[in-house]
Structure 1
Amino acid sequence: MTEVVARLRRPADSGDPVRVLLLHGLGGRATVWDPFARRAEGRYELWAADLPWRAMSDNRGWAAHPDPARYLVDLVGEEYDAVVAHSYAANLLTEATAAGRIAPRPTVVISPFHRASPRDFDWSVISYYLNDFHRVFQEALEVGETRRYAKAHRDWMALRLRDQVGPYGWVRFFDTYLRSPFLDLGAVRSPLLVLSGEKDIAARPEDGRALAAGVPRARFETVAGCGHFPMVERPGLVTRLVCDFLSAALPPAAVSPSSRLEMS
């Protein structure tokens, strides 16, 4: 199998559920969505995928394939009413949707990497993402359950995650980033919400803003005070933004009235 999909939340009420698929980023895990799942409205049936590029996976073959987006194309199919994707998965999802490989549906991308012009890439950009790649994993370890570990141990774990991704995985990530200016964003007909952390050191808020500016039915929101993992850092706010967006984007009969959500 290329991925493991698990249901995080069963709808609380009766009727046809709204099936939402949650996709983690490079070196992440499905559990990154747990804070979101605990706060989401009861009507949503939430499914999370452990993708081939998940943390501590022994699957290195994904990075050798020239088309990692194929994993998402196969996974998303027609089963889900909406998709929420973070970081690297957000890029692959956007690219596949722009190419018509994934059918339109309400979509949320969190912390996407995007540049509007190839001139936005120079040698300093490559140097930053290559030599400081481990910093993204350091940030993940500081905001999740691992924040209780000593800093020295978290730094060691960040390097282990970087080494697990390896040169091939990094090339797949950066190649996807380099292709972003050439996407036909005008072909993305899905309602789209783009969320970027105000203090993201990996995917700049400017990246998310540029992506939303190119998609006809997109809206951009900055999540104040957050880095690369807003759904972990401010789960109440992110959950409210996502659920409000889905309530507006999906047919009224498919979504229950908005419930009161915890803010953090």
Structure 2
Amino acid sequence: MLHGLAGSASSWREFGPLADSGCELWAADLPWRGEGFGGWAQRHDASGWVLDAVAAVPGGPDVVIAHSFSANMMLTLLAQHAVPAVRAAVFVAPFYRPAVEDFDWQTISYYLNNFHEILLEGIKVRANSRVRPDVQLDMALKVRERVGPCGWTRFFDAYLQTPTLSLDDVTIPCLVVGGDQDPASFPADSLLLAAALPRAEVHVLPGSGHFPMVQHPREFAGLVNSFLSIGVPG
């Protein structure tokens, strides 16, 4: 299980107890976790960090569940045939557009100027109810500073590259899960990605934002467990 930008392994805390008991779960803490790890954004090919995490699982994982930025890193690796042992993938709130022309200056402006709002949602789903909204906003702004311009550029560059990925070559079963209230990975991203993958099913959860595994853990776990029992060979 791979968390998104400014997340952590705890992103899967609600899902873990609800996962099929036959699964052995591993969760990576990646360099782009919330508390930050200096220098990761200077490595141009950030997917290498995901490859390292996958390789660290003894015997290699059968299935990778990846959220947000890490979903895009995993998608890149699969399109490059860099992780042949993985038999299925779950993409949670991925970023995808099928054509270069789908990106315009307004797209850049939205993701640049509203980046702290995207980070704020992650804080809101985790914050204690006693944490005031202004404090939550301050936290989001501090996380934005930790990510920095280089980190944001790595995220947006991964998004920009999605039209160039050879998704026809990603022939393993895939599950795509999005949220209809997601302010970052819009429902269309999930639907279009699933349509571009040869063997994919997609579910957009009503009332969910960018963190369906946290906001709707039972529904999310139900989808993943069903996918693992029916859609994954062997």
Q: Normalising to structure 1: TM-score of the pair?
A: 0.85
Instruction: Considering fraction of residues, name the structure with more strand.
Output: 1
The corresponding residue for 2:65 is 84
The corresponding residue for 1:200 is 182
Q: What SS class does the counterpart of residue 109 from structure 1 fall into?
A: strand
Q: 2:39 aligns with which of 58, 61, 66?
A: 61
- Structure 2 segments unaligned to the other structure (5+ residues): none
The corresponding residue for 2:91 is 109
Q: What SS class does the counterpart of residue 118 from structure 2 fall into?
A: helix
Contact 1:108 1:193 in 2 (8 A): yes
The corresponding residue for 1:258 is none
Distance 1:147 1:90, change over 3 A: farther
Contact 1:138 1:158 in 2 (8 A): yes
Contact 1:146 1:154 in 2 (8 A): no
Partner amino acid for 1:108?
Answer: V
Q: Does 1:137 align with 2:137?
A: no
Q: Does 1:74 align with 2:56?
A: no
Distance 1:117 1:144, change over 3 A: same
Contact 1:141 1:147 in 2 (8 A): no
The corresponding residue for 1:35 is 14
How many angstroms does 1:158 deviate by?
Answer: 0.4
In 2: Cα distance, 1:29 partner to 1:147 partner: 20
Q: Which of these two proteins has the greater Rg computed from alpha carbons?
A: 1
Q: What SS class does the counterpart of residue 156 from structure 1 fall into?
A: helix
The corresponding residue for 1:6 is none
In 1: Cα distance, 2:116 partner to 2:169 partner: 34
Give aligned pairs, total: 230
The corresponding residue for 2:196 is 214
The corresponding residue for 1:235 is 217
Identity among equivalent pairs (%): 43
**CA offsets per residue over residues 97-152 of structure 1, 9 Å max, x none?**
00111114111000000001111100000000001000111111111244441111
- Structure 1 segments unaligned to the other structure (5+ residues): 1-21, 253-264
How many angstroms does 1:42 deviate by?
Answer: 1.2
Q: Normalising to structure 2: TM-score of the pair?
A: 0.95
How many angstroms does 1:26 deviate by?
Answer: 0.2
In 1: Cα distance, 2:222 partner to 2:3 partner: 19
**CA offsets per residue over residues 194-231 of structure 1, 9 Å max, x none?**
00101100000101111111110011111110010011
